[in-house]
Amino acid sequence: MYSFRNDYSEGAHPKILEALVKYNLVQEDGYGEDSHSIKGKELIKTHLGSNDCNIHFIPGGTLTNLVAISSFLRPHEACIAPFTGHIATHETGAIEATGHKIIELQTDNGKITGDIIAPTLKDHHFEHMVKPKLVYISNPTEVGTVYSREELKDLYAFCQENDLLLYCDGARLGMALTLEANPLTLEDMASYTDAFFIGGAKVGALVGEALIISNDTLKSDMLYYIKQKGALLSKGRLLGVQFETLFTDDLYFELARHGNKLARLISNAFAEIGCEFFVDSPTNQVFPILKNSDIEELMKNYAFYVWKEIDEESSAVRLITSWATSEETVLKFIDDFKAIISK
């Protein structure tokens, strides 16, 4: 039984474990002041161009989102997010628990634009309503789609014009940065958002996100917020060593590219057979629409989620590949699927 359920089924990329073992008994300062955290941040900064950013390592995406958003906003300010956004759906109300409303906007493909946001700004015009202040996006989105550099730039310009902060959840950011058709870089991310994070856990780390803040007004006292929310590890080296390794020799990008590549193998093969897709995702999540009977067969040897019922006979499923998925496994999966449908 092989699982395509998610990209966190395995542990860490072996180079990360090697580094953890290598430096294990060297004494280091705690709370993110260890040499590896310092080095990891330096390595990331080389990708950010001239942007003067603050970087903080935080163990977990939900934790990063809630630390960032609750520190960026005053009590009456609200987030705007696509209704599919992770903070709106799958973080158990973590943002509201810090006191802030999420205004959820409709969207077809997990992405939002200035045009989608504008009516909300017009509506929220006085003190009986929350004040929209931060736009939350994910790149890739929760359904695998990506913002291009132009889209991001436009959205950021819209936010700037409307006194909104733009914050990007990058749980799978690597996958958006390694698409040939989408020449988006970390430097773009730093240039066209106020803050974003680079997720580690889905790109080879055991745990850890790098929160990157480019907007100067958001930088002060961040360590207080991180500590207050329980997000400051005593052994910060655990996060430091991982990001140091991921950003040495572009390992992070290599792992993300691998996940994307294997997903393309699947989507191309399925498309060739005539399969349709629930969403057209270029990243490591694939959403083919399959016959329920075929799904049942496939599930005898593969684990994955049924994403959405399409009609009585078919459903969209979600298949996720990662740095840890082998090409061999994917090719076998494709063959197995072909065998099932040709029965």
Contact, 234 vs 12, CB < 8 A?
Answer: no
> Could you give the C-alpha distances from 69 to 72, 94, 172, in angstroms and in order?
5, 10, 19
Measure the N-to-C terminal CA separation of the chain; round to a whole number of Å: 21
The CB-of-243 to a copy of itself minimum distance in angstroms stands at: 15
| SS3 state of residue 299 | coil
- Toward a copy of itself, which CB reaches closer, 131 or 149? 131
Q: Which helix (H) or strand (E) holds 225?
A: helix 222-228
Rounded to the nearest 10°, the torsion over CA 33, 37, 39, 40 is -160
The CB-of-181 to a copy of itself minimum distance in angstroms stands at: 28
- Toward a copy of itself, which CB reaches closer, 121 or 223? 223
Contact, 193 vs 200, CB < 8 A?
Answer: no
- Toward a copy of itself, which CB reaches closer, 13 or 264? 13
- Toward a copy of itself, which CB reaches closer, 12 or 155? 12
The CB-of-171 to a copy of itself minimum distance in angstroms stands at: 9
- Toward a copy of itself, which CB reaches closer, 119 or 183? 119
* Structural tokens at position 1: 């039984």
Contact, 276 vs 263, CB < 8 A?
Answer: no
